[in-house]
Structure formats: structure tokens, C-alpha cells
A and B are shown apart, each in its own frame.
Chain A
């Protein structure tokens, strides 16, 4: 599904990712953990194609295609989704209208027909309900005046509607209370069908308790420095990132 090889990403004059390798197979859920500033969000933005995130070396392959050659909207239509760490407010743009335009734009790019409005509304409503979000949010402007938690859950609603093949979730759990966290985890699990893949960026092990990741990676200073199973997340939780230095010195 996703194959990242020796990825180097530069913002301005600063190299942030310094040779990152990562491979995610179909149906797999991987977690990336790592200290603040280690480059987690940079990885998400580089995958999504943000301007100013220059790939200077290495490659990102998504289903055999070179992501670096694609515009952000092409990546989306191909099935890549990024849940933002800080979802952006879009004043004046109605949430439902936005969602439908986005879905139709992707479908059009894939040569599919426009979505039927009834079906669309049904999907959105079901997803709002499962995330315990007020339907009134559909009529509000995208993320505008949403609480921190509502913004994060709204990212999951978007994911549920857009049904990506690979979802990169950047700290979607931060700032959520335990109930909201469970809802988000359920939202992710509901999408797991053995084919869709997930890259879950998180600070805390607690989200992973509900997700059962296939692999856990530790990102530090622009590189994956450690990979393992769920037990790695537990160790990070217990010991913090301090042990990274020990391992790298050893």
C-alpha cells in the first residue's frame, strides 16, 4: 500500500526528515510515536503534498505510484487521507456542502458518478451519530467555532465519508477525553476491513489500546529508530522516550 524509502524532507533550509523508511501493507494499521518536533506531522504533510515540504531524496510510493509526482487532490482521489493535527477552519463554507463537494470531486477524478444526495446524507448522518456529534454541525461552517474535540471528530467523519484506502491520522487523539477517544477508535475500527490501511500518529499509548496496531514505530529526529509490536508502545508509555538514547548509544 505505502512504501517509503530513505525519505528526506526539507522545510526552508532545514532538513526535518532524514532518511525515513516505512512500509505499510494492505489492511495494516501502523502507529508512529515520537517526541515533539521529531517530524511526525512533517511526514503527514509530505505524504499529503503540502507546499514547502520539499522531498530532496528518497521516495514515497502509494499503490505503486510515486506520490511526489501527484498534486494533493490527486493523492486524495487515489485514496490517501490526512486527518490534520490542527484541522483548518473554513469560514462561510457549509460543512455538508464541503463534504459533498470533496466526495464528488474525488469521484469525478476517478471517473465515477456523482454521489446520490440521499445516500450521501445517510452516510454522513450515520457517521455523525456514531461519533456522538450533533447533526447541526452539518449546517455550520467547516470547523468554525467547533470545540477542539469536535474538530478532531469531524476529521473522522470526513474519513468515514471519503473512505480512503490509506488514512494518516495525525494526533487525532490529542485533547480528547476518554469517551471521545473511544468513539474515535470505534470510528477507525469500523473502517478496518482487511484492505484499508492506517497510519496512526500519536503521543500516547491509550489510543492504541483500542486499535491493536500491527506495527509500532518510533520516530526520532527525522528517522524511524525503533519498530516493534504493541509492546513497544507499552514500553514507551512506561519509560518515556529516554530509552531511545540508550538504544542508539548501544
Chain B
């Protein structure tokens, strides 16, 4: 893997700006640990060998043009080709966007090789932004990240998002790749006391290798809810870690991934109850067709002393072909008392009896299958708010079935 290090993080290429020391330190850590391989537990089912095979060029990619229009009113910040080329002339009331203070990055730690991609991001990022949501937003805020067809380099977007005390927002990550490069995102989201964030991830990729590490910190009485519509791509790895830091914090993840031939999607989620009187819920569904591969690892960690915490984790999965594969692993680690934690996990196939039933009502096989798939996959999206966003997600799902 050292050739890969040389290719992805050549020392000479490190830019000399106010983040230079931070990049150097990250680079050293990366050199020290190397990249994960299949023996690295967290990367057991997802290989980065594709990265080695690709000769990614360097330098900023091209512009991807405007992101797809949304069927509702929203404010958009466009990371065009992975970078913010033109900071928006005007931001909605209550939103601030500024370069991230290097001091914020001095002590970050991504651990060993399992965190290599995050170290790589820190070693190679061009831009680091801090988005502050200071007060309740009137309409959804969209972070559009689009990669154009010719994209064959590596980008390492880095973003910190703060939702201020008591503020409420709907934040939509609209991610669309048409290229064949590497997109390696690190984002940190912090919800201050009583804040409420509806976080939507909508992703539809082509050939790019897409690695995204999202860490969410939830303070007292704050409420974080994620809705993900993962329409997959050549290789997607999403880590989503939600840390419930103070009493009254709530964290919820609802996601669905639809994976087809030539696609590999790996979602690693972790909800960490660090103190008591915190609640969480997660429902994740994977549908894999063709030779598609899906991985879901859902970890619930209730720490010692986090008494009176409640958690529910459910994953249901559907194999649509003989060649498709799905690996799921719910992990419950409970070290506290007076805790309720439930979990369920299933992998199944479309029911012949249901298919026949629909056909006897006149639906051709294709339509009947689409309806059954939709019935299965729409459930995690049905709790999305507001309604316009929910309807959009459901229509986007319907369009690919």
C-alpha cells in the first residue's frame, strides 16, 4: 500500500497555507498506520484495492454544472466538483459559512488504519469549511455535491456544521457523481442544546470511490434525525457515528440502500449513548439486485453509567437475485443498567405469493416487482419531514425501481 500512499498523498504536493502543519501531522499518521485491508475489522467486507488500481490524477477537477433542481423551495450551497468555487453571494438568514479555524483541527484523532481515509482527508484537503446554523431555518438548506463525468482525481471535502442552541433546520446532502475518481469526505456535525436537525443524505453515484465519514454530536435535549436514500455507486463507504453526549439527547437513523450490479455499498453506523436518559432508534434497509453487494454494520453502544437509555435497532434486507450479497451485523454493546435495547435483523427475498397476488390483480410481473420493492424500501423514508422532502425522496426511490 505504500505506492498508494505515494500516489494519494505525495509529500511534495502538500500545500503551504495555514493548515500546513495539520496536513503534515496527518500525513505522518497515515504513513505510520497505512490503509486498511480485509483483516481490518471495520473494513472486512469492503476492499480499497480499487483505489490502487486507479491512477488518479491530481489537481482540482472540472465543474459539474448546476445540481439537479429540487421540487421544493430550498437554499443551495454547491460544492461543484467537490469544492466551493464561489462562496454563495447571499446566505439565508441564520446561516454563516466561514473557513474552519485551524485550531479546531490540531487535536483530531482518527485512530489507526481503520481511520486511514479520514487521515488522508486531513492530509490532503484543499478547503475546510464551517457552516453555522445560528437560528431556525425557514426552508431546507441543501449542500449539493456534484462530480462531473470527466472526474478522475481525488477530492477531500471537509466540513464542520454547527447547529446553535435551540435552532431547527432541515439539511439535505444532495450528492451526485458521474465520474470515476475518489471523493473522500469528512464532516462533523454538532447539535447544541435543544437543537433539532433533520439530516437527509441523497446519494446517486457512478464509478467514483466515495468514502464519507460523518460524526454527529448531540447535546442535551437536542434531536438528530437522519434519513438516507442511498442509490449507490461503484464503491460507497459511509460511516455515520452519532454521539449522544448529554441527557435528553435523541438520535435516529432511517436509511434505505438500493444496490445493483457492479455496485458495492457499505454503511457503518454507530450510536453511542455516552450518558443516561438518552434515546435512539435506527431502521436500515438494503435491497441488492444483480451482483450488487451491500454491507450494513449497526452498532449501538450504551456506555457504563448511561442508565435509563433506550434504543431500538432494526435492519431488514432483501436479496433480489442469486448473485447479490448482503452482509449485516447489528452490534449491541450494553454496559449500563435500566436500559431497554431491542434489535432485529432479517434477510429475505421477494415473496412468490405476494408477486402472484399482485399479478392476479392485473399487474405485469415487472410492475408487481417494482411495487413490492417499493413497499419494502419506502418504509424508512416515510418518517422524513417536512412532507415536501419526504415526497421527493419517495419519488426518487420510485424512479429507480
Contact = CB atoms under 8 A, between A and B. Distances in A.
B352 A51 contact: yes
A73 B359 contact: yes
A212 B357 CA distance: 29
Contacts of A77: 362
Given A51-B352, A84-B357, A93 B362 contact: no
Given A51-B352, A98-B371, A92 B363 contact: no
Interface in B206-252: none
A37 interface: no
Contact of A76 (B362, B371, B372, B374): B362
A93 B358 CA distance: 11
B114 to A, nearest CB: 35
Interface string A86-105: 01111111000010011101
B357 A93 contact: no
A216 interface: no
Contact of B359 (A72, A81, A93, A103): A72
A48 B362 CA distance: 11
Contact of B358 (A49, A102, A141): A102
Given A51-B352, A90-B372, A72 B367 contact: no
Given A90-B372, A91-B375, A103 B357 contact: no
A50 B358 contact: no
A199 interface: no
Nearest to B378: A92
A101 B360 contact: no
A106 B363 CA distance: 7
A73 B363 contact: yes
Interface string B312-340: 00000000000000000000000000000
A32 interface: no
A137 to B, nearest CB: 16
Given A51-B352, A72-B356, A84-B357, A92 B375 contact: yes
A88 B365 CA distance: 16
B375 A141 contact: yes
Nearest to B357: A88
A90 B375 contact: yes
Interface string B370-383: 01101111110000
B128 to A, nearest CB: 41
Contacts of B362: 73, 76-77, 102-103, 105-106, 109, 162
Given A72-B359, A82-B360, 20 more contacts: A48-B356, A48-B360, A73-B363, A73-B364, A73-B365, A76-B359, A76-B361, A76-B362, A81-B360, A87-B357, A88-B356, A90-B371, A90-B372, A91-B375, A92-B374, A92-B376, A93-B375, A101-B363, A105-B367, A162-B361
17 contacts: A49-B359, A71-B365, A72-B360, A73-B365, A75-B360, A76-B362, A90-B357, A90-B371, A90-B375, A92-B375, A93-B372, A93-B374, A98-B358, A105-B363, A109-B364, A158-B361, A162-B361
Interface of A: 48-51, 71-73, 75-77, 81-82, 84, 87-93, 98, 101-103, 105-106, 109, 141, 158, 162
